[in-house]
Amino acid sequence: MNKKIKKILSKKNKSKIVSLTAYSKSIAKILDKYLDIVLVGDSMANVLYGQKDTHKISLENIIQHTLSVKMGIKKSLLVVDMPKGSYKNTKVAEKNAKLVMKKTKCDAIKLESDKNNYKIIYKLVRKKIPVMGHIGHTPQFKKKFKIYGQSKDEIHKLLKEAQMIEKAGAFAIVLECLAPEAAKIITNKIKIPTIGIGSSFYCDGQILVTDDMLGLSGFYPKFVKKFANLNRTIEKAVKKYTRDVKLKKFPSTINFLNG
């Protein structure tokens, strides 16, 4: 087993797994110093490409951004989201996942859960492709943003889903927008780590979209804590640059190449 994955597994019930998304080398290089997992998320569709959902991002887009992210990664586990349609059946999933692994040299791929993709996970894992699952709010298949696992029946269904994913051989599962009790029960009942987003502190680890937590994306649901306000910082810098150019303060003699 990949050493980085072993390390992630060993953190269950010991220390929190820390994870964020990246789409480029410059951000990945910073994240890599601190994080356990860097995810090249299909959230790039919304964040970078201004699309209304994640459905149209292509495998080529994902591979291209992963090649950039990979250049910034030395120690974290690099996980790549498989875009919608790229794992619609076992054959297609195997072909595309192999392509992603070969071209990007990432450590693992992530699949959102749809009714029957346990078989796909099983097959990929047997082909030595490490898989991270993703349940609850899965934007590739569900339109509405809501809280999952609010009734006993729903918790039971989500738990079954997580257990099937675990049985199929996934090494971790993202729990997106799960009620705290659901996240707690699933995290306690399965042996692989759970990585939460909007799913409380009961998960074994946390993930957020980096542009959201940096205050850059403009998307701030209740579960996002803004750890910075980069929109404001960047705007201030651009304003200052504009003023300096107009006032002929920039460039000055110290910026002359032959000065």
Using rule CB under 6 A, residue 21 touches ligand KIV: yes
Q: What's the closest the beta carbon of residue 197 comes to ligand KIV, in angstroms?
A: 5
Residue 194's DSSP bridge partners are 173
Alpha-carbon gap, residue 193 to 13, rounded angstroms: 9
Under DSSP, is residue 191 helix (H, G, I), strand (E, B) or coil?
Answer: coil
The correct pick among 43, 66, 86, 117 for binding ligand KIV (CB under 6 A) is 43
Alpha-carbon gap, residue 230 to 232, rounded angstroms: 5
Contact string 64-103 vs ligand KIV (x = CB under 6 A): -----------------x----------------------
Judged by CB under 6 A, which stretch of 36-44, 64-72, 165-173, 225-233 contacts ligand KIV?
36-44
Using rule CB under 6 A, residue 210 touches ligand KIV: no
The DSSP secondary-structure symbol of 151 reads S
Using rule CB under 6 A, residue 61 touches ligand KIV: no
Based on the residue annotation, tell me whether 181 is a catalytic residue of this protein.
no
The correct pick among 159, 209, 213, 214 for binding ligand KIV (CB under 6 A) is 209
Judged by CB under 6 A, which stretch of 5-13, 38-46, 55-63, 165-173 contacts ligand KIV?
38-46
CB 73 within 8 A of CB 105: no
Between 21 and 113, whose beta carbon lies closer to ligand KIV?
21
Q: What's the closest the beta carbon of residue 15 comes to ligand KIV, in angstroms?
A: 20
Using rule CB under 6 A, residue 197 touches ligand KIV: yes
Both structure tokens of 176: 């997106």
Long-range (24+ apart) CB contacts under 8 A made by 114-122 are 114/138, 114/140, 114/141, 117/87, 117/93, 118/164, 118/165, 118/167, 118/168, 119/90, 119/168, 120/87, 120/89, 120/90, 120/93, 121/165, 121/168, 121/169, 121/170, 122/168, 122/169
Q: Is the alpha carbon torsion for 53, 58, 60, 63 positive or negative?
A: positive
Between 76 and 254, whose beta carbon lies closer to ligand KIV?
76
Using rule CB under 6 A, residue 206 touches ligand KIV: no
Catalytic residues: 176
Enumerate binding residues for ligand KIV (CB under 6 A).
Answer: 21, 39, 41-43, 81, 174, 197, 207, 209
